[in-house]
Amino acid sequence: MRSFLTVIASAVVLAGCAGQTTKGYVRTNGGSVDLAQEQATLAQCKGEGARGGDPGDYGHKERSITIACMARNGYIIQTQ
């Protein structure tokens, strides 16, 4: 449970780095990324984010939900 919270906290911190260029997602376990699986998971997480987002927050909550979902599925954002 503690490692899960660490991953979520890392994802939130990375989400705050708006000035950095996103390079895509990497696996939290260091394994290789299957692009088809990553895209399928991202589509699922974007749907979850869209359902939980608030139209008045300019997509910030939606993005946070999407990033947290990806972290739960073993992906974090890779930045430069």
Task: Quote the tokens at residue 27.
Answer: 């696996």
2 vs 17, residue with greater confidence: 2
Where do the structural domains in the chain lie, given as residue ranges? Answer: 2-79
Contact 28, 75 (CB under 8 A): yes
Looking at residue 19, its pLDDT comes to 46
The pTM score is 0.65
Task: Quote the tokens at residue 15.
Answer: 């989400």
